[in-house]
Structure 1
Amino acid sequence: MKVSQLNLNSQAKKLIQSVFVFESDSHETEILPFYADGFPGIVFFHSEHPVTVFVGSESKVMDPVFVYGQTIEPIRIQIEGPFFFVMAQLFPAVVEETLGIPVTELTNSCWTLPTSEWETEPNFTLAVENHSSLLAKEALLDFILKKGEKFRPDPILHVCLEEILELKGNCEIGKLSKKHGLSERTLQRRFQNYVGLTPKQFSSIIRFQTSLSQLNGEKNPTLTDVAYASGYSDQSHFIRQFKSFTKQKPFRFREKI
């Protein structure tokens, strides 16, 4: 299986955090694991076989274009090749403002987009007919950009989100709310409606993602080094939070990489 990440232009970056493409020409079945990353998204895939999403003990066979929300629980996607699977991570408010799907209703769930919303876009059909991941990327990006033409982010909440990302989740919510002239309770309420998570939850996820990147890196750091570099108070705190998002202890997770 080949995995790649797209370079986005300035226009796309107003709506999209990142785009990943998974593709395979073999007939093998692949399991794509996903963990909490702080961003909902939209997927366009093609396989001649059913594609199933597993969340905990529940499973669901998905249609070719679907939207997913904030993920707290680990998610596994089973897909049999040949296939392409294009995933665009969206800034949270984009989902509700451009697709009309309440972000708070999407947490740990998926929402199939009706075929009528995308089948008239020519590149979707061409991508399937030609089994082309290139056309699939173009189709999904064009669809998002067209839907998001009138999107305008909440200036305060978007800045708060970007500050949490820049600090890799290591920020005090009280200081953040005070900096932007909001009470902590008001920030929490508005942020949850905007992002689908509380500021504390979002910060925890971004800190977890920082630790995940380090574990997946080439330097093979100790768990203590990962914990402190990611901003955890100690190794036990890191292990507890890592396990809450992956259902595995970090040393077991690293053994499977």
Structure 2
Amino acid sequence: MEYLTFQPQADLDSLVKCYWTLEIPNGNHFERQRIIPDGCIEMAFILGDDIKRYTSKDDFILQPRAMIIGQMTEPFYIEPTGYVNTFAIRFYPYGIANFVTLPIENLANKETPIEQLFGEKTAKELEHKIIQSTNTQERIQIIEAFLLEKFSEKSTVDTIVKTTIDAIMSANGTISINSILEEDLTKRRQLERKFLKQIGISPKKLGKIIRLQTALKMILKRQSTNLTQIAYESEYFDQAHFIKDFKEFTGINPKKFLNNEKMTVSSLFYSEK
């Protein structure tokens, strides 16, 4: 199994967090993999065999070969059907809104085929170029040219949204929205409307996801196995609040997180963030 990340060029590095590839040879058996929210939106191209995404215990759909994975507020399960070869773009929370016109809240908690965002002709041309490329660097050049062209067609995200996200991320999700708005509560409703349209979830929900990332990194890097210490260093009110948020976004108790085979892929992603 090989997971690699690549940094974007300077013109896109405020919007694109990274490009990543995941390759798993055929024959490597994996149980269903639990994918957990990380506050980012991704554009992904499946270059290998199909990947199942479970909609219930026994029912599943096949993920689109070229898709946008919107903001997730709950864990979901995927399962490779064979050879895994994926190329993806991981956007910062406010990144994708600079390239599409569809309200971002319409993308939340699901996969959306890219033709629904960019039109069938444009999407098919982009997908064909990505598939025909012989290496990751070529794919990055193709996607960056595409994004820069789309960026020139779109206005940027509202300043109030970007400022709020920057504050949330700088504080690892621990700052309150009232503090960011300097107690000007008249701005809160406006901010929440713009957040849903341009980010896909509320500022409070994004803050909870970002704060959980701090705790996840500590667990994955085995900096501590003491839940009280993890809760304290992640600035949760107490251990109970930490466990409640952990279960909400991962669907699993933190004590069971590390040795759960269904967390192999998510653990790989989070260890690199």
TM-score (ref. length: structure 1): 0.86
Residue of structure 1 equivalent to 2:43: 42
Residue of structure 1 equivalent to 2:259: 255
**Helix, strand or coil at the partner of 1:99:** coil
User: What is the CA-CA distance between 1:135 and the residue it aligns to?
Assistant: 3.6
In the alignment, structure 1 residue 27 sits paired with structure 2 residue 27: yes
1:144 to 140, 143, 147: 147
User: What is the CA-CA distance between 1:212 and the residue it aligns to?
Assistant: 1.0
User: What is the CA-CA distance between 1:32 and the residue it aligns to?
Assistant: 4.8
CA contact (8 A) 2:97 2:199 kept: no
CA contact (8 A) 1:95 1:101 kept: no
User: What is the CA-CA distance between 1:118 and the residue it aligns to?
Assistant: 3.2
CA contact (8 A) 1:177 1:187 kept: no
In the alignment, structure 1 residue 159 sits paired with structure 2 residue 160: no
Which amino acid in 2 is paired with 1:70? Q
1:236 to 212, 237, 240: 240
User: What is the CA-CA distance between 1:45 and the residue it aligns to?
Assistant: 1.7
User: What is the CA-CA distance between 1:104 and the residue it aligns to?
Assistant: 0.8
Question: Number of matched residues?
Answer: 253
Distance 1:32 1:88, change over 3 A: farther
**Helix, strand or coil at the partner of 1:13:** coil
**Helix, strand or coil at the partner of 1:11:** coil
Worse-matched range after superposition: 105-114 or 117-126:
117-126
Distance 1:75 1:137 in 2: 27
Which amino acid in 2 is paired with 1:184? R
Which ranges of structure 2 fall in alignment gaps of 5 or more residues?
265-273
Worse-matched range after superposition: 110-119 or 162-171:
110-119
Higher relative contact order (CA 8 A, sep 6+): 2
Which amino acid in 2 is paired with 1:119? K
User: What is the CA-CA distance between 1:238 and the residue it aligns to?
Assistant: 0.5
TM-score (ref. length: structure 2): 0.82
Consecutive aligned runs of 4 or more in structure 1 exceeding 4 Å deviation: 29-32, 55-58, 179-182
* Identity score, percent: 21
Worse-matched range after superposition: 64-73 or 3-12:
3-12
RMSD: 2.5
Distance 2:171 2:187 in 1: 21
1:80-229 equivalence runs, <5 A: 80-114=81-115, 116-121=121-126, 123-127=129-133, 130=134, 132-151=135-154, 152-178=156-182, 183-229=187-233
In the alignment, structure 1 residue 76 sits paired with structure 2 residue 103: no
Distance 1:149 1:218, change over 3 A: farther
Worse-matched range after superposition: 49-58 or 246-255:
49-58
Distance 2:40 2:56 in 1: 19
Which ranges of structure 1 fall in alignment gaps of 5 or more residues?
none
Distance 1:196 1:93 in 2: 9
Post-superposition CA distance 1:109-147 (Å, at most 9, x none):
1111235323334631323xx4x4444444334333332
User: What is the CA-CA distance between 1:184 and the residue it aligns to?
Assistant: 2.4
Distance 1:29 1:136 in 2: 28
**Helix, strand or coil at the partner of 1:118:** helix
CA contact (8 A) 2:64 2:111 kept: no
**Helix, strand or coil at the partner of 1:117:** helix
